[in-house]
Structure 1
Amino acid sequence: MGKTTSATVRTNRERTETTRLALLDAARALFVGKGYVDTSTPEIAVAAGITRGALYHHFEDKRDLFRQVLQRESQAVAADVEAAAPEQLSPREALLEGSKAYLNAMTAPGRTRLLLIDGPAVLGMEEIMALDDTTSAASLRQGLERADVGRDEASLDALTPLLSAAFDRAALAIDAGADAEETRTAMLWLLERALGPARQP
């Protein structure tokens, strides 16, 4: 029998990850182009250049594959938000810059449909909200906390999902053709009102 080396293990792991990414990419393109319901697993396998059996080796079923496509999209959005709000910014500046980054990130083709339209329809609002709570909503809450939003006047547990929903509504409006600059300006105006007057140093 051949000896298993660390290089062999690494090669197998890389091959596995390459196959998984090919499936996620193919599935994303089809889910955006045709919608979840009209996309079949054989189509995804063909588009990814692998067998249907290999698809089921990596994902439990189409719903599981869709869920992981959404997880990757959510993580990409959260990464953009984090990158736009480095620690050297003041809490207020970080929250505003992160908010701009969220709206920009949601303009990636197909992302709004995946996360805000098909996602809730396929997985249910409870699962989508749980996913959001670990990515974008988590970043938003952290930003609100650091910026001391509410100042004992409003619960962050209540305020965070309300502001998150407003951001999602803005993203949907932009995706539907609303003036992007006007919508971003209005959303930032709303956030500024929640922040209140800037504190003097």
Structure 2
Amino acid sequence: MQEIGRRSNKDRSDTTRAALVAAGRKLFVDRGYAETGTPELVAQAGVTRGALYHHFADKRALFRAVVEAESATVAHEIESAARPGLSPLKALAKGGAAFLEAMRVPGRTQLLLIDAAAVLGRAELDAIDARHGGRTLREGLAAAMQAGALPALPLAETAQLFGAAYDRAALAIAAGADPGEWRKLIDTVLAGLAVPGVSPP
């Protein structure tokens, strides 16, 4: 019975935390970080103020959890698209296209590429990205280099370069640009880096 009680408590705790993250996601997107207060957050989540501070030290900590959750979702979409069996360059192209598509979810580009840097700072945001989208990009580039599809370029710098390109593309698409044109442009750059004789993405 004790084990059931502990599991039940954990389930309730996880449910409360998830409700707070979902409420934070909605309000931070709809109203912005600065205009969102803790009374609105707990009302939206349907929990007490005490529950908020049990799970998160402050509003910034909740915002960080929202960014982490959104980043993890984007990484999952990338990994689902870059499935095993694809050539390394094709996997990179598919993963990049999945990133751009995932970033079209309303509010996500503003949250992850604009507000997160302002609220959390560049270093903290880079650390989150390194666990999620940035990790998938580094792994994809490393696999392509190890397979001989790409030359042995400096991995960290190459990942930063392509990461910046994908982020800029996501911002442009959010502002109304053609997603297909941006995908074609980045894929052309990737193909230009490919080792001669390797099939393009």
> What SS is found at the alignment partner of 1:20?
helix
What residue number does 2:151 align with? 151
What residue number does 2:179 align with? 180
What residue number does 2:76 align with? 79
Q: CA deviation at 1:196?
A: 4.5
Matches for 1:77-156 after TM superposition, within 5 Å: 77-148=74-145, 150-152=150-152, 154-156=153-155
Q: Is the 8 A contact 2:151 2:193 kept in 1?
A: no
> What SS is found at the alignment partner of 1:151?
coil
How many pairs are equivalent?
196
What residue number does 1:191 align with? 190
What residue number does 1:165 align with? 164
Supply the distance in 2 between the matched residues of 1:87 and 1:19 (Cα, whole angstroms).
Answer: 36
Q: CA deviation at 1:197?
A: 4.0
What residue number does 1:53 align with? 50
Tell me the alpha carbon deviations over residues 141-167 of structure 1, each in whole angstroms, 9 at most, x when there is no partner.
111111116513x31221110110000
Q: CA deviation at 1:85?
A: 1.2
Supply the distance in 2 between the matched residues of 1:36 and 1:14 (Cα, whole angstroms).
Answer: 28
Change (3 A) 1:189 1:158: same
TM-score (norm 2): 0.92
Supply the distance in 2 between the matched residues of 1:198 and 1:94 (Cα, whole angstroms).
Answer: 17
Supply the distance in 1 between the matched residues of 2:45 and 2:198 (Cα, whole angstroms).
Answer: 53
TM-score (norm 1): 0.92
Tell me the alpha carbon deviations over residues 91-144 of structure 1, each in whole angstroms, 9 at most, x when there is no partner.
122111111111111111111111100000000111111111111111111111
Give the superposed CA RMSD: 1.5
Amino acid at match of 1:14: D
> What SS is found at the alignment partner of 1:147?
helix
Change (3 A) 1:196 1:169: farther
